[in-house]
Structure 1
Amino acid sequence: MREALDVYVSAMGYSPRLSWQRSPVWHEHSRWAGFSAVAAFVSREDAAGLAVSAPADGAAARGRGRRWWFRRANHEPASEPQDLDVRVVPASGDTRGLAGQEPPSSDEVLVGICYGYRTSQGQWWFDRVSAGARSAGVSLPEIMAELTELHVLPALHGHRVGRALLQSFLATRTEGSVLLSTPEVEGETNNAWRLYRRAGFTDVLRNFLFEGDPRRFAILRTDLHQMSATSTADGSRTE
């Protein structure tokens, strides 16, 4: 959990002190119906080549040493996509769509995380999105999943880690549709938008406001029967 939260704060640009504020929330989510999670690992050798230093052994890895490691990951990402041996591993005991994967070893470094669960009334995010959809006259499927978190260390941007995580997470889902929210970006020009569009996510709501957050969000949806299409190397899709 600590390493996953370190990835989260590094990807979001937050202070490491905020990581444990999210810990109770993530633990709670892990108990919700339909929860599934995947994590991306690369070898320590590949991580070293990308200026992502693995934590030292022992007590130093639990203090400033670990935080320093993830701050270094904020250096400039790769300018062009590069092939990287990324291994995506499901959460312990959850092998839907990822059967046969070995657990991570001490020779691997955690570089990305993704999780979600089945939507249900009473969930803060889903209740607000449902209300917004009703107000806009937009119908939603009866059974859906929410993609709650997807984060990759900034040093690994451009190495298709996010795509590997997203495809693996969607493979764990049994629902027909998956929803997510992402901040609005002019021209949809950031990595997250490009990833979601290539994966077939389409608009549900745009410029949506959650109370307590001044940012505007897009609510996006993909129907999983469309994911039978395969992605080519340039990100296009073919049946």
Structure 2
Amino acid sequence: MSLKIRRLSPQEFALNAGPLVDIYISAMGYDPAIRDGRIFSWRREVIRPGFTALIAEDASGVVGLAYGFVGTPDSWWDRQLRLALRKKGELSAEETEVLRSYFEVAEIHVLPRMQGQGLGRQLLNELLWNAPGKWALLSTPEVPDESNRAFGLYRSMGFTDLVRHHRYPGDDRPFAILKLPLPLS
């Protein structure tokens, strides 16, 4: 099977947001009723500083995606991040540095039938290669003993804990927020 990783322009990403959100819904097990709201949100994110989007394609079409951008205090996720860190207590010097210069891995998803084949690693490596910022941040649902492919991937790449058990509005699951120093080694 021949896989190809390809960068999308912001315009291509916006035009293809529907099928990309479908991959997200499938990979995360979300209710398809959120589809229109997610498409609207993803299309708005193409104007974020440093916006970068990738897709993975095979003969059947798009099988994975990753996108991110520079973290800025005007974003919903940055506000959630700051709230989560404040709940932990006073910010450490490292946490303060993270907030000053990070690349947010907004989404990385692979169709369930394609998971476990290294595609997520390829997407993440390509997305973070030369990413602006001193840190890469992402969040992932908590699972017992970190026993899923996502945690396995993130840990194997060197991501460490920034915040654990954060609850985002609109999602009942707790999430881990993980950090990785940049540039990639």
TM-score by length of 1: 0.64
Looking at structure 2, the residues matched to 209 and 184 of structure 1 have their Cα atoms a distance apart, in angstroms, of 10
2:153 to 180, 190, 195: 195
Looking at structure 2, the residues matched to 19 and 8 of structure 1 have their Cα atoms a distance apart, in angstroms, of 9
Question: How far is the alpha carbon of 1:5 from its aligned partner?
Answer: 1.9
Looking at structure 1, the residues matched to 165 and 96 of structure 2 have their Cα atoms a distance apart, in angstroms, of 18
Letter in 1 for 2:30: Y
Looking at structure 1, the residues matched to 125 and 105 of structure 2 have their Cα atoms a distance apart, in angstroms, of 12
Partner residue in 2 for 1:4: 20
1:36–1:172 CA contact under 8 A, matched in 2 = no
Question: How far is the alpha carbon of 1:178 from its aligned partner?
Answer: 0.9
1:120 to 55, 68, 72: 72
Looking at structure 1, the residues matched to 182 and 136 of structure 2 have their Cα atoms a distance apart, in angstroms, of 7
Who wins on radius of gyration, i.e. which is larger?
1
The yes-or-no answer on 1:184 pairing with 2:142 is: yes
The yes-or-no answer on 1:35 pairing with 2:48 is: no
Question: How far is the alpha carbon of 1:140 from its aligned partner?
Answer: 3.2
Residues 1:135 and 1:178: Cα distance change in structure 2 (over 3 Å): same
Looking at structure 2, the residues matched to 21 and 146 of structure 1 have their Cα atoms a distance apart, in angstroms, of 20
1:184–1:216 CA contact under 8 A, matched in 2 = yes
Partner residue in 2 for 1:20: 36
2:70–2:132 CA contact under 8 A, matched in 1 = no
Superposed counterparts of 1:132-147, under 5 Å:
132-136=84-88, 137-138=90-91, 139-141=95-97, 142-147=100-105
Q: How many pairs were matched up? A: 163
Looking at structure 2, the residues matched to 20 and 211 of structure 1 have their Cα atoms a distance apart, in angstroms, of 18
Letter in 2 for 1:180: L
1:133–1:140 CA contact under 8 A, matched in 2 = no
CA distances 1:140-173 after superposition (whole Å, capped 9, x unpaired): 3211111111110000011111010010100141
Question: How far is the alpha carbon of 1:202 from its aligned partner?
Answer: 0.3
TM-score by length of 2: 0.82
Q: Considering only aligned residues, what root-mean-square deviation do their CA atoms show, in Å?
A: 1.6
Partner residue in 2 for 1:205: 163
Greater strand content: 2
Question: How far is the alpha carbon of 1:176 from its aligned partner?
Answer: 1.0
The yes-or-no answer on 1:223 pairing with 2:181 is: yes
Partner residue in 1 for 2:113: 155
In the alignment, structure 1 segments of 5+ residues that lack a partner are 45-53, 55-108, 229-239
Looking at structure 2, the residues matched to 128 and 8 of structure 1 have their Cα atoms a distance apart, in angstroms, of 20
CA distances 1:175-212 after superposition (whole Å, capped 9, x unpaired): 11011111111100101100110111000111112234
Looking at structure 2, the residues matched to 4 and 214 of structure 1 have their Cα atoms a distance apart, in angstroms, of 23
In the alignment, structure 2 segments of 5+ residues that lack a partner are 1-15
Using the TM superposition, name which of 124-133 and 189-198 deviates more. 124-133
SS at match of 1:162: helix
Letter in 1 for 2:117: H
User: What percent identity do the matched residue pairs reach?
Assistant: 37
Letter in 2 for 1:21: G
Runs of 4+ in 1 over 6 A off after TM superposition: none
